[in-house]
Each structure stands twice: as structure tokens, then as C-alpha cells.
Structure 1
Amino acid sequence: MELTRRELVAAFLGSAVAASACRRERPREPVPGALVDRAVDVGHKLRGGPLPRAAEAQPVDVLVVGAGVAGLSAAWRLAAAGVKDVRVVELESEPGGTSRSGRNEVSAYPWGAHYLPAPLVDAGPVMRLLRELDAVTGVDAEGYPTFAEELLIHEPEERVFYKGDWYEGLYLRAGASAADLAELARFEARMNAFGAARDAKGRKAFAVPSALSSDDAEWTALDQGTMARWLEAEGFRSPRLRWLVDYACRDDYGTTAEGVSAWAGIWYFAARQDGKGERSEGFLSWPEGNGRLVKQLLASVPAGQVERDVLVHSVEPGEGGCRVDAVEAGTGKPRAFRARQVVLACPRFVAAHVVAPWRQQRPEWLGAFQYGPWVVANLTLSDMPRSRGFPLAWDNVFYESRSLGYVVATHQAPRMDERGPTVLTWYLPLAGLDAKAERQKVLSAGYADWEGLVMADMRAAHPGIAEQARRLEVMRWGHAMVRPVPGFMWGPARFAAQESLGDVLHFAHSDLGGMALFEEANWFGVRAAERVLKGLGRAAPSWL
């Protein structure tokens, strides 16, 4: 069904943006650009008929399938242990998954994850990676790690756009009543208490990564209901606070508080602090976002070990290893590997089509994994966008839009001039509870639709931005983020999915942690690599 322009904007971004877009409507030239994703088309080949199998299989000690953060973390761990015969194969032409990045003549920019919260604890594989990056400057008197000043987000960090003006921070204090502010203070006190909570074994109730959290029923029972229901039960009804919590859930989980378990919703606010408020030093970022972390992981893998544009379509575990069948994405040429150990670093919805035993008898728990779609767009401008109110920040959020707004790629450059060209990275989680319907909506829109949507969203806050726009590129992520729906974080499905098949096939991905975060992907990648080391008979101290 054909939608009018206003109906299209309302369907994707909400009625407030649609009304604003129509008020500002005037003829303009479309911004040149393109849809730049292709995994949608290539990856869907797994759903078709049988793909060709090679006559001969290449022997290899370890095959890592997938060069996202989890797969690269596995290869990183294996390289550190001295395992030489490792091959990493990746469907895309660029590794990194949703942490990948791009670059043009103006700046590097992210295509997904754009920051890493500074860790609180000087331990674990993420801290090891940050030390390799020379991002860690030391440890303070209380034992907290400290980080290079140039990598911490520069001021101003955040601002929010509401009814024609920009305001500092994410919580909309302008016009807030005394009751609103009292409720915010009470909410923050509750989150601080959750951040301080420990069980009898000394484990944090809510920890990073989630695998280190307490499994005591006192806390895990929160997983049964939604965050929205928890807020209501606790008497948190301020629309401004509810917006803030919804924003947090959309930002990290791709859906609203109505679709996120209360455990996961509280984790967002409690896990990265020690109970005394926000103890974390802040956020670490680069112009390319977490693409910088991907580059560091890649640098640890010996040259020639990573093969791109390879679609793995079958992994069959057997005695002494796995047979892995693939085709080259460009030519269709069949490939095969005989691997002693395999790390399958892809999401469960892909694994369901790839793991041979699961094609014959699909485990029931696969149905518990839900994934939300996202759209990320990079808009190159000839000059910094003009706006009214609080000045341009790193993170610029639209209060009345379903998008998350945008980050400024050049904000973390050594010198960010107040004028001059820049790249704005715009984020839209399709947050409706019916993820399949949201995915169909994302894929049904073409470049012209997305150009109109991005510019409608941007023009509401920056009326002159159309004249500054030079190019727009749009990436559609059909299954961008696993959703921690009620009952999932501490239910049986997620734990069943973490189990290896025999001693030869091991799994790694952020979805095993229930949250699409760098720390989860890194942790499960390292864990899979350590299972590989055991399978190879290699003794090595754990990094976990």
C-alpha cells in the first residue's frame, strides 16, 4: 500500500516528527547516496535450496566462522596462546559485524556500535584489549582503572532536542516539576542500591559481563516481568523518567521498556557503577566508534588468516572434528574445511540454518531468541549543523522522535573545529514488539524512503541542514540486536545455547549473553577460544 510522505514519516518516526516535517516542507534536491548493506541478500541464500559442496576439504586446526567481535575475540585469544593454524571466514567484505566502521574524505564513522563504557574493574579480556590499545593510564588509589583523556568523550557529551530547542543532558529538566525531579532522585537512589548489591559469594547482583552477575533468585526473579511493569509497580510514573528508561532500553536493547525484562532494564542503570553513583569514568570512543576495537582485534590475527566474502552454509560435527562447507559469496565457488575445532561466531537464527544436526531436529530453545532491526545512516555535511540552545554535543537526541538522534563522528577528532565538514551518524531502532513486522518494514523501504525519513528527522532540529548535506549512506541491520525479553536472561534457552556440541563445535556471539554489547561478544568469544584450547590439549590460564 502506498503511503503519503506524512504517513511514512509517522509510521517510522512518530506523529510529532511528521507534523514538524510537513510544517517545514518545501522543495529541495534529494541528498545523493545509497543503501550500502548486502548481507540481507547474500545471507538469505541459507534459506534456499542446498548449496554446492566441494569435493575436497582443506585441513585446519581451528576454523572460526564469523569475524564480528565474538569471532575476532576468539581468534585474538588463540593467537595469544600461540595457536598458528587458525582460519577465520566472514560473510561480509568488511569484518566487525555491527561494530564495523567506514571512512570518507571527511572522517571515519561507525556503522553500528559507537562507544564502550569505561570498565570499573581492572580485570577481564576487555581491559586486556584496552591495555593493548594504550587506552589505560593506570589504576587509582581505590583500584579503579583510569583511561587516556583523549579517548574519553569530550564535553559537551549529550543534549536533547525538544520543541525547537536543545537542552543539556539526556533527562529533560527544562519544565520539569518538583514531583518529576523527586521521582528522578528516587529512581537514581534505587539504581545505586542495585549497583551496590552483592550476594553471599560477593558477586554483584548486576555485573559486566552479565555472566558474572549473581544468580540468586532475589535478583533473577526480576527477569520474569517487564521493565515497564516494574516501574509501574514501584510508583515511577513521571513521563520524563519513563521516557529516559524507554530511551535506555531502545539504545541498548532495540525495544522499549514494554518489551525488556526488568532485570535487563535495571542492569542498564546498575551494572556499570559501584553503588555510589556513576563511578565509571565515562565512555570511550573514537571517530569510527567500536570499529577501532575491531581494528585492534584484527591486528592480533596473523596476516592471511581472515578470509572475507565466504558464506558458510553447513557445519557438521563428527569424530575428531567438523566438516564445514561454504561458497564464495562473489563467485559461488564451493569451499570446504576439515577442522579439528570450530568456533561458530554467528547469531542463533543463522546457526539454526548452518548446524547440520539442528536442520534435522531444531532445538526448541532456538525460538526463544528474538532480534530487533536497526537502521544506521551516515550523513556527510559541508559544515557543522546550526541549532538553537545548548551547543552541538557528541550525542544529540531527539525527544519526540522514535530515532535515537545522532552522534558526531568528528567530535573525538584531535581538533574539532566549530565550523567545517563533518559526518553525523543517525540511529533508528525499530522498537515495536513484533520484531518480524518491524523487520519487514525496514526492508520494504528503499533509499528514497530512507533519505526522506533521515532528512525529516534532521530538519526538525536543523532547518538549514538540507543545504549542507553532501551524501547519505544507509545501512539496514535486519537482526541487529538480540532482545532481552522477559524470561530470557535467566531462562533455560540462553544457557542451553551456550553448550558446545561434543568437544569440537563451540559457540560465540553477543546473543549468548542476552544483550548485544561489546563486552558480551568479547567474553563469549574468549570463552569459546578457551574451550578450543582444551579441545586441542593446550593448557593456558583463563582470561575470564
Structure 2
Amino acid sequence: MELTRRELIAAFLGSAVAASACRTSRKREPVPGAIVDRAVETGHRLRGGPLPRAEVAEPVDVLIVGAGAAGLSAAWRLAGAGLKDVRVVELDDEVGGTSRSGKNSVSAYPWGAHYLPAPMGEQGAVLRLMREMGAVTGTDAEGYPTFSEELLIREPDERLFYQGEWYEGLYLRAGATADDLAQAQRFEARMNAFGAAKDAKGRKAFAVPTALSSDDAEWTALDKVSMAQWMEAEGFRSPRLKWVVDYACRDDYGATSEHVSAWAGIWYFAARQYGKGERSEGFLSWPEGNGRLIRQLLSSLSPKQVERHVLVHTVEPGAEGCRVEALEAGTGKPRAFQAKQVVFAGPRFVAGHVVAPWRQQRPEWMGAFTYGPWVVANLTLSKPPRGRGFPLAWDNVLYESKSLGYVVATHQALRQYEGGPTVLTWYLPMAGADVKAEREKALSAGYGEWEAMVMADMMLAHPGIEEQALRLEVMRWGHAMVRPSPGFMWGPARFAAQESLGRTLHFAHTDLGGMALFEEANWFGVKAAERVLKELGHSVTSWL
């Protein structure tokens, strides 16, 4: 049965957005644009029958399958060790995975991850990358790195839209009761305590990346319950506080607090600080978001080392290396590689279709990995949007919508204050419990439906924005984020999945860290590369 416009908007964005869309409903011309993702159909060829094999295999020392943040981090580490015979193959026409970016005549803009929390001292590989970029300016009095002012997100950095008006920050203080504020203060104190906590070995209870966190049962027991259950048990019942925690879970994990491990929920608030709240270094961002990090990783390689439009369909590990079968995605021509070492830098659900031994016998741990879909849209405007209350910020969040709102690509350039054109990047995590149903919803909606939903969300906060809209482009990520569900972060499946297969096939991806974050991708990419170096007989001083 076909949904009405109101039912469609309510199903994706909630009743408040749908009601507003109906109240302001008037005939308007649709914003020109398109759905721009193309890899879904090509990737689904892996589910079909046997694919053709090449007669001759191209020899290569190291083959990296996947040019997302993890794969390029592996290639970056190998380049740092002086390896030349390294090839990276990627299915899509753009590298970067969910850190990729786009650009038009107005600005560059992200298609996924759009910022990096300023790394702290122990984040060796990420901090090394920041130094290569010239982003690190020195150290502060406590010995922590300091960063270029032009990269730190300037104020106003966050605002919240609620019942017709914008407010500063992400906690809704307008109309808050004394009990609301007391619970918020108590919650902050608990998170600060978690941020300061260390075990007998000196490890932080919650660290970045997650691999540096304490494995003491005192902390890992939190993984057995959901964040929502932990909040209830601790007496955190204020609707405003619960909204903030739910927003945090949807923002970083693409799921509500009911479906996120309490360990992961607390990690969000505690891992990037030392017990005094959010560290002053803040967040680093670029117009293209984390696409800037991808560009930096890519700069360590020659153009010939990275091949796009290559669909790898079989990886057969052996004692002397791996044979890798592939197709040229455009022509269907079979390709093959004989690699001494392979880094498979794709998610587990793809590995299950590609790694030959796993096709024959699926590992038990694979069922523990679940992935939530996202939709990202970039809306180009002739001038900045209007709104009541607190002024336009970098991050603009809608309290009554299931979306996360939008970030402003031109924020660092101060362009919105000049009144010139800008690009708003809108995010919708499909956060329902049934990820397969959510994925089907995301992929079944066409451009007209997405245009109606994005504009309904935007018009709720910015009446008249449709008159400024020049173009809308929509990207659907069917398997955007691994979900840190209760029991997953410290359960056996995630650790089993990190093991190499023999001595020639190694793995790297954010899903191995349980969180779809750049720091996790970089950690596992570098870790896989250092395993490769050891197998090739190189002396390795770890960057981790």
C-alpha cells in the first residue's frame, strides 16, 4: 500500500515533522537533484552464482582490498615503511568509504563523517597523521598537543531547534525543571568520573581507540546491558537528558540507546577526556569533512597504486600468498592478483561473501555483526537559511526530528555571515531495531520521496528555505555503521574477527573496533599493515 506524503514523512522523520509539513503545505516546485550512490547494485553481484576467473594473475607484494579509511591507513603505514609494490583496489569510483566527500562550485562537502575529535597524546597513529598535515602547532602546559586554530571548529558550534526557535548548545535548557538540571549535572559528574578512571595497569577505563581501553570486568560488565537500561538503573529519567544520550547514540552509532551497549554509550562521553569534561582542544573539521583525512592518506601513494571500479569477489589464502579474483566493474572483464600478503579492508558481511574458506563454512562469530543504514543529503542554497533565535552554527540539530539535522560546509570560511551561497549536509540514521527493514526503507525510497522528506525537515526550522534551494543530492549508505549492540564490544565475536587467516590474509575495518569512527579505522589499518611488514621480514617499530 502506497503511503501518503504525511505518512511517509512520519515514518522516516517522526510525527512532529509530518504535522509541520501538513500545516505549511503549499504547492512548490521540487528542488532539482538526484540520488548519487551507485555501488549498491554492483556490490550485490557478490550474492549471485559463480563469477568468471582470470587465466593469468598479476603478481604484487601487498594487495589491499578496499580504499576506505582503514584500507588507506594500511597503505599509508606501508608507504611509511618504504614498501613500493603495494596496490589498493576499490569498487567505487571514489575512495574514502563513509569518509568520502564531494564538491561543487560553492564548496566541498562531506558524504559521511564530517569531523575528528582533536586527538589526545596517546593516539599515536592519528596524531602522526595530524603532524603530517601540519595541523599540530605544539603542546600545552600539560603536555597535550595543540592544533591549528583554523581547523578547530569555531563558535557558534552547536545549536538546537525546538518548537519554532533555535537555542544554544545541545541540551535543551529552556523550560527545564530543577530536577532536569540536577540530573544533567549528576550525569556529567558520572561521565567525568568514568573519563578519569584507570585500572591497575594505568589504562583508561574508556580510551581512544577502543583497543587501548581497560579490559577489567569492572568496566566491561557495562557491555552486558543497554545504555537505556543503565540510565534507568541509575535513576536518569529526565526526558531532556535521555534525549541528549539518545542523540549521542544515534550520532556516533546509528542506533538508539535501547540498542547500544552501556559501555559504548558511556565511552561516547568519557573516552575523549581525562575527568574534567570535554577537553578544550575540541573538534577538527574541514569543508569536506573527513574527506580531508582521506586526501592526506592518499597523498602517500602514487596514482598507479590505487585502482577504482574493481570488484573483488574471491580471496583464496594459501601458504605462499593469496590469489584474489576480481572483475572490472564497468566491463565485467575478469582480473586476478597473486599477492604475497593481502589486507581485506572491508566489513565482515562482505568478507563472508568474498573470503573463500568463509563461503564454505561461515564463522559462528559473523552473526554478531549488525550494520545500520544512513542517508546523507547535501543541499546547496543561494544564501544561508533564516531562523528565529540563536544564530546559524556549524552543527544544527532538530530536537523533534529523527534526523540529526545538518552541518554547514562553509562554517569555517565565515561565508554565512557574508550572505553568500552555502551547502548544508543533512544526516538521517535509520535507527530502528530491525536493520534489514530499515535498509529496505532507505533503499526503496526514490529521489522524489527523499526530496520531500529532506525539505520537510528543513522547512520545519527554516520557513521559506525552498526559495533558496538550488540543488539537492542524496546518498544512501545501506550498511553505513556497525552497531555496538549490548554484548558486542566485549564479547568473543569481535575479537575472533580480528585474527588473521593464516599468515597471508589480514583484516582492517571500523567494525573490528565496534564503532564506525576514523580512529578505529586508522588503528586497525595500521595494525594490519604492521602484521604484513612482519610477515615480509621487516623490522617494525609500531606506530600504535
TM-score by length of 1: 0.99
**1 CA distance for matches of 2:471 and 2:328?**
31
| Partner SS for 1:150 | coil
DSSP-derived class of the 1:379 partner: strand
Match in the other structure for 1:383: 383
Which letter does structure 2 place at the counterpart of 1:211? A
Q: Which residue is equivalent to 1:426?
A: 426
Which residue number in structure 1 is paired with residue 40 of structure 2? 40
The match for 1:265 is 265
Return structure 1 stretches of 4+ with deviation > 2 angstroms: 413-418
Within 2, Cα distance between the matches of 1:489 and 1:397?
28
> Structure 2 CA distance, aligned partners of 1:187 and 1:454?
33
- 1:92 partnered with 2:92: yes
Query: Partner residue of 1:342?
Result: 342
The answer (yes or no) to whether the contact 1:344–1:507 under 8 Å persists in 2 is: yes
Alignment partner, residue 79 of structure 1: 79
State the alpha-carbon separation in 2 of the partners of residues 414 and 189 from structure 1: 35
User: Shift of residue 176 of structure 1?
Assistant: 0.6
**TM-superposed deviation, 1:70:** 0.1
CA contact (8 A) 1:207 1:272 kept: yes
Residue type of the alignment partner of 1:434 = D
Per-residue CA deviations over 1:207-256 (Å, capped at 9, x if unaligned) read 00000000000000000000000000000000000000000000000000
2:530 alignment partner in structure 1: 530
Give how far 1:49 is off. Answer: 1.1
Q: Is the 8 A contact 1:309 1:328 kept in 2?
A: yes
CA contact (8 A) 1:122 1:144 kept: no
Corresponding position of 1:508: 508
Figure out how many residues of one structure are paired with residues of the other and give that number.
Answer: 544
C-alpha deviations, 1:230-284, integer Å up to 9, x for none? Answer: 0000000000000000000000000000000000000000000000121241100
For the 8 Å contact 2:123–2:209, the answer to whether it is kept is no
Q: Deviations over 1:125-147 (max 9, x none)?
A: 00000001100001111011100
CA displacement, residues 510-537 of structure 1 (integer Å, 9 cap, x when unaligned):
0000000000000000000000001101
Task: Map Cα deviations across residues 47-98 of structure 1 (whole Å, 9 max, x no partner).
Answer: 0111111000000000000000000000000000001100000001000000
Structure 1: 5+ residue runs without aligned partners? none
CA distance in 2, matches of 1:454, 1:303: 37
Cα contact 2:415–2:422 (8 A) shared by 1: no
Correspondences of 1:14-93 after superposition (within 5 Å): 14-93=14-93
Structure 2: distance between partners of 1:71 and 1:111? 18
Asked if structure 2 preserves the Cα contact closer than 8 Å seen for 1:255 and 1:372, the reply is: yes
- Would you say the 8 A contact 1:322–1:339 is kept in 2? yes
CA contact (8 A) 1:135 1:148 kept: yes
Counterpart CA distance in 2 for 1:204 and 1:301 is 35
Output the amino acid matched with 1:541: T
> Is the contact made by 1:117 and 1:280 (CA closer than 8 Å) also made in structure 2?
no
Conservation of the 8 A alpha-carbon contact between 2:482 and 2:516: yes
- Alignment-derived partner of residue 142 in structure 1: 142
- d(CA) in 2 for partners of 1:16, 1:417: 30
Match of 1:101 in 2: 101
**8 A Cα contact 1:102 1:111, kept in partner:** yes
- The alpha-carbon deviation at position 319 of structure 1 amounts to 1.9
Distance in 1 (CA, whole Å) between partners of 2:149 and 2:63 is: 38
AA aligned opposite 1:333: K
Whole-angstrom distance in 2 between the partners of 1:473 and 1:439? 19
Q: Secondary structure at the match of 2:299?
A: helix
SS of 1:258's partner is helix
Counterpart residue number, 1:111: 111
Q: Contact (CA 8 Å) 1:273, 1:280: kept in 2 or not?
A: no
1:39 CA displacement: 1.2
Match of 1:131 in 2: 131
**In the TM superposition, what is the alpha-carbon distance from 1:302 to its structure 2 partner?**
2.2
1:333-356 deviation line (CA, Å, top 9, x unaligned): 100000000000000000000000
Cα contact 2:383–2:416 (8 A) shared by 1: no
CA distance in 1, matches of 2:90, 2:422: 31
The aligned runs of 1:364-375 (5 Å cut-off) are 364-375=364-375
Aligned to 1:436: 436
Given that residues 195 and 204 in structure 2 are in contact (C-alpha distance below 8 angstroms), is that contact kept between their aligned partners in structure 1?
Answer: yes
Report the AA paired with residue 234 of structure 1: E
How far apart, CA to CA, are the structure 2 residues paired with 1:127 and 1:293?
Answer: 12
Could you tell me how far 1:417 is from its partner in structure 2? Answer: 3.3
Contact 2:384 2:416 in 1 (8 A): no
- 2:420 maps to a residue whose letter is G
| Alignment partners' CA distance in 2, 1:53 and 1:47 | 16
Please report how far the alpha carbon of residue 301 of structure 1 lies from its aligned counterpart in structure 2 after TM superposition: 1.1
